Amino acid sequence: MYLMILTEKLKIQYPIIQAPMAGGITTPELVSAVSNAGGLGSLGAGYMSAAEIKSAIHAIRELTNKPFAVNLFIPETHHAAENQIIKSCHNIEESCTELQLKIIPAKKPYAPSFEKQMNVLIEEKIPIFSFTFGLLDSAWINKLKKNNTILIGTATNLAEAIALEKNGVDMIVAQGSEAGGHRSTFLGEAEDSLIHLSALISQIKNKINIPIIAAGGMMNRKNIAAMLAIGASSVQMGTAFLSCHESGAHPKYKEILLLQTIDKTILTRAFSGKLARGIENKFTNRMECKKENILDYPIQNALTHSMRKMAKEKNNPDFMSLWAGQFAYLSKRMSVGELMRTEG
């Protein structure tokens, strides 16, 4: 029942949502290609300024007249004393030196203005808004609902799913432990909500009355069918789209994904301060013994920004955040259209 409700509400042909991967992955070309192929393309705008978001929305609309989603991060307030920031700088100094980069302590603001980001989405009357890392303030919900914007929240456990339904969302992404990228946990510790996707859906499906979108390990038609069979109304695929031609992932990043033969992903806070799943590299291994000085998100994320940027410029994947799900070894080099035709 919910499968038909979801596809009709989102106006999509296939129950496939492209995950809103932040950091330049979700180019207008990727987002529009997914929507044009019958799925739902998503712009991962969490790290983007208001002006960048507006420009990207306009670019997407030039490429498609189909619905698409925009995703933002619910802001978190964390503080770090100067001596803590200095310690964390020492932690990554060796890695920055390898890149011939001088480390500069992070300064406020550590993330773009959420209010300015949201105002752009209201102004642009985006069709679908998804959010991660928490609950959305009721004032924003009211403004979005006036625009008839569909709301999608993200949960990693039952308590979050129930809270999101009460929050007023129309659909919920259930993020299983297999998923690549940041853990979306906002109630309890992230380590306590590493629940396999099938178990998470089983826990949630009889406790809420809105559609569930399955996320984590969705790489092919077989995975999709399995999730729909146990109660999901749609799937959200991230890693599968990373190696597509239209993806904004760095060429070295794509190359590493395509070379995987087994699961080499780990859970780390090294790059951003928030628990995330990705392919291990020199930086994650180096930081494994320096965990005590890793700052909270978004401070750690701001601290490693210049290092990650330089790593991309120098084609050095040892210091890139290579977010990927546990089934990244199933990645294929193809266009979005080919992926949607073979797996949709």
Question: What are residue 73's DSSP bridge partners?
Answer: 132
Residue 142 counted as domain residue: yes
CA distance 92 to 321: 14
- Picking from 209, 228, 245, the residue whose alpha carbon sits closest to that of residue 14 is 228
Which H or E run includes 146?
Answer: helix 138-146
CA distance 70 to 22: 10
Q: Consecutive 10-residue runs of the chain (344 residues): their mean pLDDT? A: 82 97 98 98 98 99 99 91 88 94 87 98 99 98 98 99 98 99 98 98 97 97 96 98 99 98 97 98 94 92 96 98 98 97 88
CA distance 61 to 82: 44
pLDDT at 83: 86
- Picking from 216, 213, 150, 136, the residue whose alpha carbon sits closest to that of residue 182 is 216
Which H or E run includes 64?
Answer: none
> Any residues with CB less than 8 A from the CB of 97 and at least 6 apart, and which?
none
Residue 121 counted as domain residue: yes
CA distance 327 to 29: 24
Please tell me what DSSP assigns to residue 227: H
Residue 153 counted as domain residue: yes
Residue 132 counted as domain residue: yes
pLDDT at 238: 99
For residue 196, what is the domain's CATH number? 3.20.20.70
pLDDT at 71: 99
CA distance 18 to 29: 12
What is the domain count for the chain? 1
CA distance 248 to 294: 28
Residue 267 counted as domain residue: no
CA distance 344 to 338: 10
Domain span including residue 209: 2-75+111-249+331-343
CA distance 178 to 10: 25
pLDDT at 106: 80
CA-based radius of gyration for the chain: 19
Residue 171 counted as domain residue: yes
- Picking from 210, 118, 132, the residue whose alpha carbon sits closest to that of residue 169 is 210
Residue 263 counted as domain residue: no
pTM for this prediction:
0.96
**What CA–CA distances, in Å, run from 280 to 194, 245, 258, 286?**
18, 23, 15, 10
Residue 179 counted as domain residue: yes
